[in-house]
Amino acid sequence: MRKIILSLVVLAALTGCGSNSSTTEKKEEVKDNTKHPDYIKGLALIGKSDCLTCHKVDEMHTGPSYRDVANRYAGASDTVAAYLAGKIIAGGKGVWGEAFMTPHPALSKEDAEAMVKYILLLKK
């Protein structure tokens, strides 16, 4: 009798896990943004600048990871792109910590916003 109960418990646990993992799989299904024109353009601009000396996509470096930036701001209001572009141009600190982002006065607002669009597409 005990064995039967035990196997029922095990079975319940197994089927429970099974359905759980299928729902998480669905959630983790991410849209492929890498072919998005904004992604391609922004990434190219970032590659030409010095951003990657301080930022990585997935790991914190001198600056926050771009994925963290995206998760923090994506879906926020439209003004956020302008704010972030302005911050890239002006530089600054204090939002993520005490490390300082150097200013990028040579960047146009359009290019800085294009970089921001790429970063925001990294949201997971």
Residues that bind ligand HEC (CB under 6 A): 46, 49-51, 53-55, 62-64, 69, 84, 87-88, 92-97, 99-102, 104, 115-116, 119
Of residues 8 and 100, the one with the C-beta less far from ligand HEC: 100
Minimum Å gap between C-beta 35 and ligand HEC is 21
Encode burial over 2-30: b for 16+ CB neighbours within 10 A, e otherwise: eeeeeeeeeeeeeeeeeeeeeeeeeeeee
Of residues 21 and 53, the one with the C-beta less far from ligand HEC: 53
Of residues 46 and 121, the one with the C-beta less far from ligand HEC: 46
Minimum Å gap between C-beta 17 and ligand HEC is 38
d(Cα 69, Cα 57) in Å, to the nearest integer? Answer: 9
Minimum Å gap between C-beta 16 and ligand HEC is 40
Burial of 80 per CB tally in 10 Å (0-12, 13-18, 19+): middle
Of residues 13 and 90, the one with the C-beta less far from ligand HEC: 90
Burial of 119 per CB tally in 10 Å (0-12, 13-18, 19+): buried
